[in-house]
A and B are shown apart, each in its own frame.
Chain A
Amino acid sequence: MTGLRHLLSAADLDHAGAIAVLDTAAQMAATQSREIKKLPTLRGRTVVNLFFEDSTRTRISFEAAAKRLSADVINFSAKGSSVSKGESLKDTALTLQAMGADAVVIRHHASGAPHRLAHAGWVDAAVVNAGDGTHQHPTQALLDAFTLRRHLAGGSDNPDGVGLDLAGTHVAIVGDVLHSRVARSNVLLLHTLGARVTLVAPPTLVPVGVEAWPCAVSYDLDGVITDQQPDAVMMLRVQRERMGAGGGAASGATSFFPSPLEYTRTFGLDARRLRMLPDHAIVLHPGPMNRGLEISADAADSDRSVIVEQVSNGVAVRMAVLYLLLAGEREGWS
Chain B
Amino acid sequence: MTTHLLRGASPLGGAATDVLLADGRVAALGADARSGADAGTVTVDADGLVLLPGLVDLHTHLREPGREDAETVRSGTRAAAAGGFTAVHAMANTSPVADTAGVVEQVWRLGRDAGWVDVFPVGAVSVGLAGTQLAELGAMAHSAARVRVFSDDGQCVHDPVLMRRALEYVKAFDGVIAQHAQEPRLTVGAQMHEGAVSAEVGLAGWPAVAEEAIIARDVLLAEHVGSRLHVCHLSTAGSVEIVRWAKARGIAVTAEVTPHHLLLTDELARTYDPLYKVNPPLRTAEDVEALREALADGTIDIVATDHAPHTREDKDCEWAAAAFGMTGLETALPIVATTLVETGRMTWADVARVLSSAPARIGRVDTGPTPQGRPVAVGEPANLTLVDPAARWTVEPRQLRSASTNTPYGGRELSGRVVATFLRGRPTVLDGAPVDTDLDGTDPR
Residues on A facing B (Cβ under 8 Å): 81-83, 88-90, 108-113, 115-116, 119-120, 132-136, 181, 184, 207-213
B368 at the interface (CB under 8 A from A): no
Give the residues in chain B near A119, CB-CB below 8 Å: 271-272
B199 touches A112 (CB 8 A): no
Contacting residue for A111 out of B196, B201, B271, B317, CB 8 A: B201
Please, how many angstroms separate the alpha-carbon atoms of A257 and B318 in the complex?
A: 31
The yes or no answer to B205 lying at the interface (CB within 8 A) is yes
The answer to whether A88 and B272 have CB atoms under 8 Å apart is: no
Partner of A113, one of B207, B273, B318: B318
B369 interface residue, CB < 8 Å from A? no
Binary A-proximity of B182-201 (CB < 8 A = 1, otherwise 0): 00000000010011111111
**B320→A83 contact, CB < 8 A:** yes
Complex contact B319–A112 (CB within 8 A): yes
Q: Which residues of B contact A184 (CB under 8 A)?
A: 200, 202
Tell me, in angstroms, the Cα distance from A132 to B313 when the chains sit together: 21
Q: How far is the CA of A214 from the CA of B385 in the complex (A)?
A: 52
Contacts of A83 in B (CB 8 A): 320-321
B199 touches A116 (CB 8 A): no
Whether the pair A111, B320 counts as a contact (CB closer than 8 A) is yes
Q: Give B406 Cβ to nearest chain A Cβ, in Å.
A: 14
Q: Are A88 and B199 in contact (CB under 8 A)?
A: no
Q: Is the CB of A208 within 8 A of B272?
A: no
> A-facing mask of B104-118, CB < 8 A → 1, else 0?
000000000000000
Knowing A108-B318, A111-B320 are in contact, say whether A209-B272 is a contact too (CB < 8 A).
Answer: no
**Docked-complex contact B202 and A111, CB < 8 angstroms:** yes
Q: Report which of A82, A134, A207, A210 forms a contact with B318, defined as CB distance below 8 A.
A: A82
**Top 10 A-B pairs ranked by shortest CB distance?**
A112-B272, A209-B199, A135-B202, A134-B202, A207-B199, A111-B202, A209-B196, A110-B320, A110-B318, A212-B196
Q: A88-B313, A112-B272 are in contact. Are A210 and B320 (CB under 8 A)?
A: no
Contact A110 B207 (CB under 8 A): no
Report the minimal beta-carbon distance from B212 to chain A, rounded to whole angstroms. Answer: 15
Task: Write the residues of chain B forming the contact surface with A, with a CB cutoff of 8 angstroms.
Answer: 191, 194-205, 207, 271-273, 313, 316-321
Q: Verify B196–A211 contact, CB threshold 8 A.
A: yes
Given the known interface contacts A81-B321, A113-B318, A116-B318, the answer about A135 and B201 at a Cβ–Cβ threshold of 8 Å is yes
Q: Is the CB of B207 within 8 A of A208?
A: yes
A209 interface neighbour in B191, B195, B271, B313, Cβ under 8 Å: B195
Nearest CB on B from A128, distance (A): 16
Pick the residue among B195, B271, B313, B317 that contacts A208 (CB under 8 A).
B195
Query: Contacts A208-B194, A212-B196 hold; do A81 and B318 have CB atoms under 8 A apart?
Result: yes
Complex CA–CA separation, A136 to B201 (angstroms): 8
| Bound: A209/B204 CA distance, A | 12
Are B196 and A112 in contact, CB atoms less than 8 angstroms apart?
no
Check B205–A90 contact: CB distance below 8 A: no
Contact A88/B317 with A112-B203, A207-B205, A208-B205 known, Cβ cut-off 8 Å: yes
Please give, as numbers and ranges, the residues of chain B lying within 8 Å of A89 by CB-CB distance. 317-318, 321
Known contacts A110-B319, A132-B202; can you find 10 more A-B pairs with CB under 8 A? A83-B321, A90-B317, A109-B320, A110-B321, A133-B202, A135-B203, A181-B202, A184-B200, A184-B202, A209-B195
* Cα(A29)–Cα(B77), bound, Å: 65
Residue of A whose beta carbon sits closest to that of B316 = A90
Contact A82 B321 (CB under 8 A): yes
Shortest Cβ distance from residue B269 to the other chain A in the assembled complex, whole angstroms: 8
Nearest chain B CB to A95's CB is how many angstroms away? Answer: 15
Residues of A within 8 A of B195 (CB): 208-209
A212 CA / B284 CA spacing, docked (Å): 14
In the bound complex, do residue B202 and residue A210 qualify as a contact, i.e. CB atoms below 8 Å apart?
no
Q: Which of A90, A120, A132, A209 contacts B197 (CB 8 A)?
A: A209
Chain B residue, CB-CB nearest to A209: B199
Q: How far is the CB of A239 from chain B (nearest CB, A)?
A: 15
A262 to B181, CA, bound (A): 36
Could you list 20 A-B pairs, sorted by A, with CB under 8 Å?
A88-B313, A88-B316, A88-B317, A108-B318, A111-B203, A112-B201, A112-B202, A112-B203, A115-B272, A116-B319, A134-B202, A134-B203, A135-B201, A184-B200, A207-B205, A208-B195, A209-B195, A209-B197, A209-B200, A210-B199
CA distance A116 to B194 in the complex (A): 21
**Residues in A whose Cβ lies below 8 Å from that of B320:** 83, 109-112, 133
The distance in angstroms between the C-alpha atoms of A109 and B189, with both chains bound, is: 13
Q: How distant is the Cα of A98 from the Cα of B317 in the complex, in angstroms?
A: 19
A36 nearest CB across to chain B (Å) = 40
Query: In this complex, what residue of B is CB-closest to A109?
Result: B320
Min C-beta distance of A118 to chain B, whole Å: 10
Which residues of chain B are near A207, meaning CB under 8 Å?
198-199, 205
Give B324 Cβ to nearest chain A Cβ, in Å.
14
**Residue of A209, A210, A212 contacting most chain B CB atoms (<10 Å):** A209
Q: How far is the CA of A113 from the CA of B317 in the complex (A)?
A: 8
Residues of B within 8 A of A132 (CB): 202
The residues of A that contact B204 with a CB separation of less than 8 Å are 134
Of listed A133, A135, A181, A184, residue having the most chain B CB within 10 A: A133
A116 / chain B contacts, CB cutoff of 8 Å: 272-273, 317-319
Instruction: For the complex, give the distance between the alpha carbons of A240 and B271 in Å.
Output: 31
Contacts of B316 in A (CB 8 A): 88, 90, 120
- Shortest distance in angstroms between A215's beta carbon and chain B's nearest beta carbon? 12
Q: Which residue on chain B has the smallest CB distance to residue A180?
A: B202
Determine the chain B residues whose CB is within 8 A of the CB of A111 once the complex forms: 191, 201-203, 272, 319-320
Shortest Cβ distance from residue B188 to the other chain A in the assembled complex, whole angstroms: 8
Smallest CB gap from B312: residue in A? A90
User: Which residues of A lie under 8 Å from residue B205 when comparing CB positions?
Assistant: 207-209
Question: Which residues from A are CB-within-8-Å of B202?
Answer: 111-112, 132-136, 181, 184
Q: Do residues B318 and A112 form an inter-chain contact, with CB atoms below 8 A?
A: yes
Smallest CB gap from B202: residue in A:
A135
Contacts of A211 in B (CB 8 A): 196
Most buried by B among A111, A133, A207: A111
